[in-house]
Amino acid sequence: MLTILFDGIAYGMVLFVLACGLSVTMGLMNFVNLAHGAFAMLGGYITVLLMQKLGVPFLLTLPLAFIGAALIGVILERILYRPMYGKSHLDQVMFTIGIVFMAVAGADYLMGSSQQIIKLPSWLQGRFDIGGVGVGRYRLFVLVVCGVLAFSLQWGFTKTRFGSRLRASVDDARVARGLGIPVNRLFALTFALGSGLAGLGGALGIELMGLDPSFPLKFMIYFLVVVTVGGTSTITGPFFAAMLLGVADVAGKYFVPEIGAFIIYVLMVVLLIVRPDGLFAKGRA
Amino acid sequence: MSHLQDRVRASLQASRRWHIAEIVFWLIALGSFWAFPRHLLLMNEIAILALFALSLDLILGFAGIVSLGHAAFLGLGAYAAGLLAKNGMGDPVLGLVFAMVVSGFAGLLSSPLIVKGNDLTRLMVTLGVVLILHEIANSWASLTGGADGLQGITINPVLGLFAFDLFGKTAYLYSLSVLFVLFLVARRMMNSPFGLSLRAIRDNQLRAAASGVPPSQRLALAYTIAAAYAGAAGALLAQTSQFVSLDVLDFHRSADVMLVLIIGGPGYLYGGMIGAVVFKFLQDTIAAFTPQYWMFWIGLFLVLFVLRGRSLIHGGVKLFMTRLPWLSGRGRS
């Protein structure tokens, strides 16, 4: 029982790392980026390639996945995404779906359509018991890494100058710009950070979620749920949304495998009916 | 006040009048039956896709609802018509009506979620609904045949007179007739005060509400009608191919139809049909040399189209219209 809770939390943690960048970029530029999963997939494939072809140790590939995805994120933001900010949501949706399709077909072409498998270092394999609760070593590792990340993100978001500028821009980009905050540069930076985190999440998630070319499509709904349910103005909102989703998904698939896949959708519908503006929405005029 | 009413009425009546270009369009569609007898199956697909895009146009072009899961209603209609025929009631028109009722009902059920939210929640809900249906169709194999698809559908002759044939003769005429009839209904609806109120909501919901239009009610109604239309497209798909597979609920269906509508241009009813023709020809040409990576090309096309191409194509159409003023209704005024 507790093991499932633990697995669910680890799963939710990875979801959070995957989706938190998206929630900030969406809040900041009101830009609907459905291609976020493509960056996660990129990070995953960077790890797979580095480990399989060059024999780089797993731990070292994680920062490289982050950097690789962040770099591509910055380049794409500069060239492709920037003209899209002023356009309608419909255009943004079509544009990013186009990117997703290209990424899916491209990954299929370059890497083949099969599931990728990585060999974790031996100290991350297996599980051990803590007071009768079986704890997977890798899941514990993920939990620690993502937990540290979440805390530092929360700290950076609320306590640093960068964070306060970011929050100001999310609240009202026009006024922030008027006050001399470089919103565009801030956004490029956030976009890079978000893409990098997605890449890292993708790399961490290979073992938990699998990795194949359809990854961006399969997890698109998860990202959307995390962002809509969690709201876009905080770090804690998406965090709890991701936790809820992770635990519900893992528990659902374990206890009622026949209908397990429906649990998150039901959850989503219920949450939307009860709290249409997100789980932690502030009252808005 | 009455002066304004008269003006609105006159403007609606003017837009209801048939334009010569529209008549030419439908004559070409009918004439293709004799002109291209070897491509009837492809033309049947175009007609069905056009109907599906028309249905999306009702909510996207007129009401401004962005949907990522319009295939939900296509799939539902296809399974409804397929299952009805499989269980002994193979009359195509009956199946069509049944599919429209089922899909329309599903649209009505999900409309509160659509009406409430902003664009982001709408994306999530529409995507969620189609994923749920896909999952149900996949796991309820005893009813739907699961991943193998729904097989053993036999469809009776249309109206008891015209049997379906291998070359798609009956199929094309049947699909085209359904498309035409439903188009007439949609045309009348969108050129009525109801259609006008939808456009008002799309352009400014707050202002529409302030001038006495109930946005939630109208949006829910539009969504229900569009769902029924998509159901009809699904029924045509199931009946003319006599097979339903999980593919009808796939994500790419929803994305494709969006692209189709955007190619043709949303908001004037013909966009979906023109887009369907262009899209199918594109697909046919590209599939001829790289069948496997069609997805990449459609993605590239989407990106380029949004970045540059739209103004190019639509600008070209506009230029064409101004050069030939007798073709366009606006040219005269």
Query: Would you write out chain A's pLDDT as a tens digit for each of its 285 residues?
Result: 777 888 888 888 888 888 887 887 777 777 888 888 888 888 888 888 888 888 778 888 888 888 989 899 888 888 888 778 777 888 888 888 888 888 888 888 888 777 777 777 777 777 776 666 667 788 888 888 888 888 888 888 888 888 888 888 877 778 888 888 888 888 888 888 888 888 888 888 887 787 888 888 888 888 888 887 777 677 788 888 888 888 888 887 777 776 666 777 777 777 777 766 666 655 443
pLDDT band at B233 (very low <50, low <70, confident <90, very high): very high
The pLDDT of residue A280 is 60
**Among residues B63, B29, B67, which one has the least CA distance to residue B230?**
B67
By percentage, how much of chain B surpasses pLDDT 70? 91
Q: Residue A132 has what DSSP assignment?
A: T
Contact (Cβ atoms closer than 8 angstroms) between residue A179 and residue A67: no
Contact flag A101-B259 (C-beta cutoff 8 Å):
no
Q: Would you call B330 exposed, middle or buried from its count of C-beta atoms within 10 A (0-12, 13-18, 19+)? A: exposed
Q: Where are the domains of chain A?
A: 2-274
pLDDT score at A281: 55
Tokens 């698109």, located at residue: A220
Q: Considering only CB atoms, which chain A residues are within 8 Å of B116? A: 272, 276
pLDDT in tens, B13-58: 877 778 887 788 888 888 788 878 778 888 888 999 999 999 998 8
Q: What share of chain A is helix, strand, coil (3-state, %, to 5)?
A: 75, 5, 20
Nearest CA in chain B to A277: B117
- Chain B residues near residue A214 by CB distance under 8 angstroms: none
The string of pLDDT tens digits covering residues B175-211 is 888 999 999 898 888 888 888 888 888 888 788 888 8
| Interior angle at CA B67, CA B251 and CA B106, nearest 5 | 85
Q: What is the pLDDT of residue B327?
A: 47
Q: pTM for the complete prediction?
A: 0.83
Interval B8-19: pLDDT, tens: 888 888 777 788
Handedness of CA B77, B79, B80, B86 (dihedral sign): positive
**ipTM > 0.90 (yes/no):** no
Which residue on chain B is closest to A232 by alpha carbon?
B120
**For residue A104, which residues of chain B lie inside 8 Å, CB to CB?**
295, 299
Name which of B131, B299, B306 is nearest A101 (Cβ-Cβ). B299
Q: For residues A205 and A195, what is the distance between their CA atoms, to the nearest angstrom?
A: 15
**Tokens of residue A36, six digits:** 């976020």
pLDDT value of residue B7: 83
Q: What length is written for chain B?
A: 333
Task: Give the integer Cα–Cα distance in Å for A241 and B213.
Answer: 36
**At residue B146, does pLDDT exceed 80?**
no
* B222 pLDDT above the threshold of 70: yes
Asked if residue B101 has pLDDT above 90, the reply is: yes
Residue with tokens 């060239």: A79
Cα–Cα dist B128/B117, whole Å: 14
Cα of A178 vs its chain's centroid, Å: 31
Q: What is the pLDDT of residue B286?
A: 81
Residues from B contacting A (CB-CB < 8 Å) are 60, 66, 68, 112-113, 116-117, 119-121, 123-125, 127-128, 131-132, 135, 139, 251-252, 255, 258-259, 262, 293-296, 298-303, 305-307
Tokens standing for residue B301: 């096309």
Distance CA A113, CA A71 (A): 25
Which residues of chain A does B252 touch, with a Cβ-Cβ cutoff of 8 Å?
Answer: 101
In this predicted structure, what is the pLDDT of residue A284? 40
Residues of chain A contacting residue B299, judged by C-beta atoms under 8 Å apart? 97-105
Which residue ranges make up each domain of chain B?
Answer: 36-250
Confidence of residue B331 (pLDDT cuts 50, 70, 90): very low
Q: Where are the alpha helices (H) located in chain B, listed in sequence order?
A: 2-16, 20-35, 40-57, 71-86, 92-116, 119-139, 141-144, 169-190, 193-203, 205-210, 215-241, 251-264, 271-289, 294-304, 310-323, 329-332
Instruction: Give the number of C-alpha atoms closer than 13 A to the C-alpha of residue A30, restricted to the C-beta side.
Output: 13
Tell me if B25 sits within 8 A of B268, measured CB to CB: no
CA distances from A127 to A118, A133, A135, A137, A139 (A): 18, 10, 5, 5, 9
Residue B319 exposed, middle or buried by CB count within 10 Å (0-12, 13-18, 19+): exposed
Q: Most confidently modeled of B59-73, B118-132, B223-237?
A: B223-237
A26 contacts chain B (CB < 8 A): yes
Which residue in chain A is spatially nearest to B303 when comparing CA positions? A95
B279, B302, B304: which to substitute to probe chain A, counting the most A Cβ within 10 Å?
B302
A2-274 placed in CATH 1.10.3470: yes
